[in-house]
């Protein structure tokens, strides 16, 4: 456990033993798939505040800053390990958090990978070709609405697993890949209660974000954005905006992939990440301009 300045403890696991360190906030659900990173690096997976096996936090004042608090906690994790610079990997809203860290603490970032990150401007809407929706998403949202309106039946872990059985199909394009989405961690109380934390604190903190041109310019580290064109959760247009606005970023587009592109195109995604973390831009990584 890592003890933060306010006493909250964050759970972590460390694998590998290379001189280079990669921090993966909240990445336990893809730890198995990303074991290859430990071949030549030390990889630290940790649960962010109020998630996974980290402390459950009941004091609203320590949660109110949401994603901004997660950014500062990431720097506390860096200091715990005595790192001057490190590489970072973040997925989904944690990808956004990693991007914010790269902006706020540029001197401590070697390279950063954003996997299917949330868009940089929370208020921006994209045209259909840059924001994928289909019947699969509509069916899942309707099923979730029915679940919320129905009386709760079963123990909390069973309810959580039912919730994830509805969500899995929206994270991939090919339905046969849905069973490979094992992200729920329903045995953990923090994960079973995540939705209330998300709606009450994290999502509002994201909606408050207003990044300026000067903010983007401060992120000098190389950043690789990996994003599927059929992502139903984080619009592909947001990835293009990150690549265009960060000064040293490139976009690896994964055609016909949804929110878990490493599931649907593992050779492309894993190979590109390895190439990037080893110091080069992978083939197909596109440099965009605003």
How many structural domains does the chain have?
2
124 lies in some domain: yes
Residue 191 and residue 163 in one domain: yes
Is 9 in the same domain as 97? Answer: yes
Q: Give 68-122 pLDDT, tens digit per residue.
A: 999 999 999 999 999 999 999 999 999 999 999 999 999 999 999 999 999 999 9
Q: 145, 165, 199: which is the final residue of a domain?
A: 199
Regarding whether 175 and 153 lie in a shared domain, the answer is yes
The verdict on 42 and 110 lying in the same domain is: yes
- Are 242 and 152 within one domain? no
pTM of the model: 0.95
Q: What is the pLDDT of residues 1-58, one digit of tens each?
A: 999 999 999 999 999 988 899 999 999 998 999 989 999 999 999 999 999 999 999 8
Q: 85 and 212 in one domain?
A: yes
Predicted confidence (pLDDT) at residue 152 exceeds the cutoff of 80: no
What's the confidence (pLDDT) of residue 290? 67
Together in a domain, 183 and 209: no
Q: What is the band of 204 on the pLDDT scale with cuts at 50, 70, 90?
A: very high
Show the 3-state SS of the chain.
CEECCCCCEECEEEEECCCCEEEEECCHHHCCCCHHHHHCCEEEEECCCCCCCCCCCCCHHHCCCCHHHHHHHHHHHHHHCCCCCEEEEEECHHHHHHHHHHHHCHHHEEEEEEECCCCCCCCCCCCHHHCCCCHHHHHHHHHHHHHHHCCCCCCHHHHHHHHHHHHHHHHCCCHHHHHHCCCCCCCCHHHHCHHHHHHHHHHHHHHCCCCCHHHHHCCCCCEEEEEECCCCCCCHHHHHHHHHHCCCEEEEEECCCCCCHHHHCHHHHHHHHHHHHCCCCCCCCECCCC
On whether residue 212 sits in a domain, the answer given is: yes
Question: What is the domain extent for residue 46?
Answer: 2-131+201-277
Are 272 and 221 found together in one domain? yes
In the listed set 148, 178, 199, which residue is the last one of a domain according to the structure?
A: 199
Claim to verify: residue 89 and residue 186 sit in the same structural domain:
no
CATH of the domain at 242: 3.40.50.1820
Q: Is 189 found in the same domain as 212? A: no
């Amino acid at each position: 456990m890592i003890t933060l300045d306010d006493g909250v403890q964050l759970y972590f696991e460390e694998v590998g033993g290379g001189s280079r360190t990669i921090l993966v906030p909240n990445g336990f659900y893809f730890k198995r798939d990303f074991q290859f990173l430990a071949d030549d690096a030390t990889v630290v997976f940790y649960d962010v505040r109020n998630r996974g096996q980290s402390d459950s936090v009941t004091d609203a004042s320590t949660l109110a800053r949401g994603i901004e608090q997660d950014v500062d906690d990431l720097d506390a994790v860096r200091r715990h390990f005595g790192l001057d610079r490190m590489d970072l990997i973040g997925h989904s809203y944690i990808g956004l958090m990693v991007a914010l860290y790269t902006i706020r603490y540029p001197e401590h970032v070697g390279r950063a990978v954003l996997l299917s990150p949330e868009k940089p401007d929370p208020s921006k809407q994209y045209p259909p070709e840059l924001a994928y929706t289909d019947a699969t998403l509509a069916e899942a949202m309707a099923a979730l609405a029915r679940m919320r309106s129905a009386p709760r039946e079963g123990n909390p872990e069973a309810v959580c697993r039912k919730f994830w059985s509805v969500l899995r199909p929206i994270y991939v394009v090919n339905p046969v890949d849905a069973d490979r989405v094992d992200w729920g961690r329903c045995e953990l109380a923090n994960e079973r209660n995540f939705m209330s934390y998300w709606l009450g604190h994290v999502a509002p903190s994201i909606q408050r974000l207003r990044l300026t041109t000067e903010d983007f310019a401060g992120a000098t580290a190389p950043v690789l954005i990996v994003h599927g064109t059929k992502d139903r959760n984080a619009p592909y247009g947001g990835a293009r905006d990150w690549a265009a606005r960060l000064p040293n970023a490139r976009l690896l587009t994964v055609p016909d992939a949804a929110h878990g592109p490493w599931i649907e195109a593992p050779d492309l995604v894993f190979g590109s990440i390895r190439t990037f973390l080893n110091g080069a831009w992978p083939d197909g990584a596109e440099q965009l301009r605003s």
